[in-house]
Amino acid sequence: MTNFRGREAELKELMQLQQKTSASLVVFRGRRRIGKSRLAEEFSKQFPKSYIFSGLPPSKHPTADAQRAEFRQQMHELGIPSNDANDWSDLFRQVSKAAQQSPVLIVLDEITWMGSKDADFLGKLKITWDLHFADSSSKCNK
C-alpha cells in the first residue's frame, strides 16, 4: 500500500475520538473515489481490533438476501459468529457482542449498497446502535 497523504487533518480529528470513553458514530460522505475507504483503513491501524465490512456493489444486482449473506460471510472471515442470522437486527447484534470485548473500530464501507434493497436496514442499525453502543461506557469507537 502506498504512503497515506492528503487526509492527515481528517485522520487527526478521528484519532481524537479515541480519547472518549463512549462509542462514537462517524459517517464519511462524499463522491466516489476520493479516499473515504482508505481513510477508514488508516484509522483502523490505531485500534487493537477492527471489523471492516463492505456491501456488494450494485453492478452485481444484489438482493437484500445476498447483501446479508455477504455480511455473514465477512463476519465469519473476521471470526464473528453469525449463528445463521438472517435479519439485519440479529447480524448487528452479533457484531455488537463481538465489539464489547475491547476497543474496536467497526466500518460499514459502502453502507448505501449494503442496505439499498432493505427498507428496514437503517432502522435496524439505529436500534442496535441505541441499545448496544450509544450509552456504552466501554471505550468503543464506530
Determine the structural domain holding residue 57 and report its residue range: 52-137
In a domain, 42, yes or no: no
- pLDDT computed for residue 140 by the predictor: 41
Q: How many domains does the chain have?
A: 1
In a domain, 110, yes or no: yes
Residue 122's CB is within 10 A of a number of other CB atoms, namely 13
Per-residue pLDDT of 64-97, as tens digits, reads 999 999 999 999 999 999 888 889 999 999 999 9
In a domain, 6, yes or no: no
Chain center to CA of 17? 16
pTM for the model stands at 0.83
In a domain, 12, yes or no: no
Contact between 40 and 109 under an 8 Å Cβ cutoff? The reply is: yes
In a domain, 20, yes or no: no
- pLDDT computed for residue 54 by the predictor: 93
Contact between 96 and 132 under an 8 Å Cβ cutoff? The reply is: yes
In a domain, 21, yes or no: no
